[in-house]
A and B are shown apart, each in its own frame.
Chain A
Amino acid sequence: MNFDLAEEQKMLAEQARGLLAELSPPDRLRELIDGNAESDEQLWRAVAELGFLGASISEEYGGLGLGALDLGVISEEMGRAVAAVPFYASIVCAADAIQTFGGADQKEVWLPRLASGDTVGTLAHAEGRQGWWPRGAGVSFENGTVSGIKTPVGDAGLAEMAVVYCNVKGVPALAAVDLTSDRVKRRKLDSFDQLRAHYAIEFHDAPASLLDASVDDEEAIRSLIDRISVQTSFEAVGGAEACVYMARDYAMDRQIFGRPLASYQAIKHKLADILVATEFARSNAFFAGWASDNSPDDLAVAASAARLSASNAYEQAARENLQIHGGIGYTFEADCHFHYRRERTLALTLGPRQYWADRLVGQIPGNQMEAA
């Protein structure tokens, strides 16, 4: 048995971590927020040059043809750095949807551009207060166009294309839409996460092409969301680990009542628990990453479990990291708030915990039930 990343994957992680530490330190994040930037373009060019964007895109379309675990390694580092690049929207979501369900034409059009970073894509799945639910798309596809409103859509200010969750005569489907069309209107929203801008997108009979016909069933779309959620689990693990060590380092330095804050059991035990939650979440993410490529039958349970444990770990880590910092943690100058906000983005974007709990329980033999 070898339940660990391969040497090449560890090197990939190291390379990504080094690059992000150099180009995307916390001060850079503050600068981007102050400048109201949509993303860190310099960082985006750098990750594109290293081939990270094409990691899981097949070689015939300009990628490296690696797997979900390799992508997960990069996602984890993006999460650790709270990187302000549309890696998740463009690569984890849009490129994966097209690679999994796209026809040859769609792949040829979009994948090389996404792999190079020249074009940014995104996933438009949610619809306002309806949120996202596999049978609930109000945006409809008819006669080669889509109409309706998707909101919020992450990184849609940068995106030139979106994979849109829609319905064809009431049947769930995915469509690729060119966002540069004049039949698409984008409106920037005030976003909770200051490092990931969200938009409302209005489609007025916008030209669209359906992804492969096999997408016309709910389970296929759910399984795509499973694959994507595995990557958010890695991202959350990276974020959680960053919080644990940020809190540890601060507590080691900070003296209080004549001794280091880190010497108090209230702090030690809290961080021990969060570290356990993080390592456990990582273990589920490893398996789910492996299952993404090697064991499709296990994916739904693996992804749901990974998602639940990663959400729990990052939630605790982001909150308690700020708490351990005390008052300084409430300032913009401290680094806690990046994670405190990003954690919510990851926790909510693919459906709340309840969605994943229902998905998981429904997959256990003997528990089949109607999805809500």
Chain B
Amino acid sequence: MDFNDTAEEAEFRSEVKAWLAAHAPAHELPDGAVLDDSEEVARGKAWQRELYDGGYAGILLPKSLGGRGGTIIEAVVFDEEERKYNLPKGPYIGIGLGMALPVIGKHGTEDQIRKFVEPTLKGELTWCQLFSEPAAGSDLAAVRTRAIKDGDAYVVNGQKVWSSWAHHSDWGILVVRTDPKVVKHKGLTFFVLDMKSPGVDVRPIRQISGASDFNETFLTDVRVPEDCRIGAEGEGWACCMTVLMGERLNQGEEGRIEELMQYAAQTPRDGATALDDPAVRLSLATAYAEERAAKYFQARLRTMVSRGENPGALASMMKLTYASRLQKTSGLAMEIRGTDALAPDSDAVATREIWHDYIWSTALRIAGGADEVLRNQISERVLGMPGEMRADKGVPFDQLK
């Protein structure tokens, strides 16, 4: 067991550190800065351009596509170092690099690659994801948005939800149904959509947090040129898999339980503090043990990846536990504080952060693989248990209930 970088990792890290020290500070956001969205996107694009010029845009993308052709460990090392700076990194850039380019690279034509890859790497094009629908989330292949061929274009009608930053994106990656007469996975087709096309109507969703990070996107008689189709008709599901199965190794989340211990210690109780209550200590220590375990589990996954092994569904364990832990511990923290956590009269900052976590944790448990989907993955792919019985198996989409 050894916590140090290998020789190659160390060399790459020092190269990255030096480059970031020279280039990142000029792009950093001031602490606590609240930028308006278009300003943030502009700064995010500028940083992406800097990365491109430095040779660090698209570390995992093959060289043939203009990426760095690096290893996943290099991507992890770069992220670790980049995170030390407060840089503008938004989904409008991440979706392009992490989702749009891999699909275009794998399923797209030469012309499409030429048109989209380099401008995206340079931060000139921003992207949003138009996958989920009101009745197609975990069951993505149930999408109903229709595309009907009309001359040299497709006419698209339907509704997409949960597209972050759609209002500031130049292009969207879009999956729609082109053939409802076949089983649902086979009737899908993948497109890139110019978000300025007539008939595209982006509306912010008012979330339970009060913010509007996500949008719903209504598509009404939108004409999408044929040359925006990625892959063949019916190849949409394969494209989605390229997006969703891309090898990912998320950064570990920062520890929060020590802060909650402080929060408890700042809560008076019976002449002492809430942290002197054995029940509180037991709950927080248990959460802390899990948080540390996640950190070392992440280290194990990273070790696997550095050897070229694919952790597969093991990686789901990180996300599954993080989201519920955030919900449980922020709820617990409110209970520890007691009535004051309902409406603090003073020193409200810490309590507001806990409110935020308690609200946001609900979205985390659903987005990017709901808890239940992840448990299925773990039991099926790690433990080898049987897949779910499916009522839609072999049934054409238009005959499904």
What is the size category of the interface that chain B forms with chain A? 35 or more
Q: Does A273 contact B (CB under 8 A)?
A: yes
Measured between alpha carbons, how far is A251 from B384 in the docked complex, in Å?
11
By beta carbon, the residue of chain B nearest A284 is B293
Which residues on B sit within 8 Å (CB–CB) of A132? none
A4 touches B375 (CB 8 A): no
* Cβ-defined contact, A280 with B297, below 8 A: yes
Q: How far is the CB of B260 from chain A (nearest CB, A)?
A: 11
CB-defined contacts of A267 to chain B, threshold 8 Å: 385
Closest to A269 in B: B375
Known pairs A1-B2, A272-B383, A369-B276; A287 contacts B292 (CB<8 A): yes
A309 within 8 A of B: yes
Q: Is B177 an interface residue (CB 8 A)?
A: no
Return the contact of A3 from the options B261, B302, B389 (Cβ within 8 A). B302
Shortest A265–chain B CB gap in Å is 7
Query: What's the Cα separation between A274 and B301 when bound, in Å?
Result: 18
Asked whether B1 lies within 8 Å of A3 as measured between CB atoms, the reply is: yes
Inter-subunit contact A284/B292 (CB<8 Å): yes
Residue A5 CB within 8 A of the other chain:
yes
Bound complex: CA of A275 vs CA of B384, how far in Å?
A: 12
A169 to chain B, nearest CB (A): 30
- Flag if B3 contacts A268 (CB, 8 Å): no
Contact code string B272-290 (vs A, CB < 8 Å = 1, else 0): 0001101001101110111
On whether the beta carbons of A308 and B285 are closer than 8 Å, the reply is yes
Q: Is B399 an interface residue (CB 8 A)?
A: no
A272 with B3: CB separation less than 8 A: no
A344-372 vs B, CB cutoff 8 Å, 1 = contact: the mask equals 00000000011011101100101101001
Q: How far is the CB of A65 from chain B (nearest CB, A)?
A: 17
Cα distance A366–B1 in the bound complex, in angstroms = 30
Whether a CB of chain B sits under 8 angstroms from the CB of A15 is no
**Chain B residues positioned under 8 Å from A281 (CB to CB):** 293
Question: Cβ of A268 and Cβ of B285 under 8 Å apart?
Answer: no
A286 touches B296 (CB 8 A): yes
Scan residues 364-394 of chain B and give those whose CB is less than 8 A from a CB of chain A.
372, 374-376, 378-380, 382-389
Chain A at the B interface: SS class:
helix
In the bound complex, do residue B375 and residue A1 qualify as a contact, i.e. CB atoms below 8 Å apart? Answer: no
Most chain B C-beta atoms within 10 Å of own C-beta, residue among A4, A259, A267, A281: A4
Within 8 A of B (CB), among A249-271: 251-252, 259-260, 262-263, 265, 267-269, 271
Verify if B5 is at the interface (C-beta below 8 Å from A).
yes
B212 / chain A contacts, CB cutoff of 8 Å: none
Within A272-316, the residues touching B (CB, 8 Å) are: 272-273, 275-276, 279-281, 283-284, 286-287, 290, 301-302, 304-306, 308-309, 312
Contact B285 A271 (CB under 8 A): no
Q: How far does the alpha carbon of A271 sit from the alpha carbon of B286 in the complex, in Å?
A: 20
Asked whether A357 and B292 contact (CB < 8 A) given A69-B1, A290-B1, the answer is no
Which A residues lie within 8 Å of B6 (CB)? 1-2
Q: Mark B303-319, 1 if CB is under 8 A from A, else 0.
A: 11010000000100100
Contact across chains for B293 and A357 when beta carbons are under 8 A apart? no
> Does A259 lie within 8 Å of B376, measured CB to CB?
no
Q: Find chain B residues with CB under 8 A from A276 CB.
A: 317, 320-321, 378
- Residues 152-186 of chain A: 1 if any B CB is under 8 Å from the residue's CB, otherwise 0? 00000000000000000000000000000000000
Residue of A nearest to B3 (CB): A1
B300 touches A3 (CB 8 A): yes
Within 8 A of B (CB), among A67-108: 69
Q: Which of B4, B5, B296 contacts A287 (CB 8 A)?
A: B296
CB atoms of A366 and B262 under 8 A apart: yes
- Within 23-81 of B, Cβ neighbours of A (below 8 Å) are at none
B2 and A2 form a contact (CB under 8 A):
yes
Of the residues A251, A260, A269, A309, contact of B289 by C-beta under 8 Å: A309
Q: Tell me whether A248 is interfacial, beta carbon within 8 Å.
A: yes
A21 at the interface (CB under 8 A from B): no
B375 touches A280 (CB 8 A): no
Q: Which of B336-383 contact A (CB under 8 A)?
A: 372, 374-376, 378-380, 382-383
Q: Can you list, as one digit per residue, whether each of A305-343 has a CB less than 8 Å from chain B (1) or not (0)?
A: 110110010000000000000000000000000000000
- Whether A353 contacts B303 in the complex (CB less than 8 A), given A5-B1, A271-B379, comes out as no
The answer, among B293, B300, B320, B375, for a CB contact under 8 Å with A305, is: B293
B229 shortest CB reach to chain A, Å: 37
CB contacts (< 8 Å) of A260 on chain B: these are 386
- A280 B290 Cβ-Cβ under 8 A: yes
Contact A263 B1 (CB under 8 A): no
Whether A356 contacts B321 by the Cβ 8 Å rule is no
A244 in the interface, Cβ–Cβ < 8 Å? yes
The reply to whether A265 and B289 form a contact with Cβ atoms under 8 Å apart is: no
Closest CB of chain A to B202's CB: distance in Å?
36
With A1-B299, A354-B282, A364-B258 as contacts: A279 and B314 at CB distance below 8 Å: yes
Q: A287-B292, A366-B262 are in contact. List 11 more A-B contacts (CB 8 A).
A: A1-B2, A2-B6, A69-B1, A268-B385, A269-B372, A275-B379, A283-B294, A308-B285, A357-B281, A358-B285, A360-B289
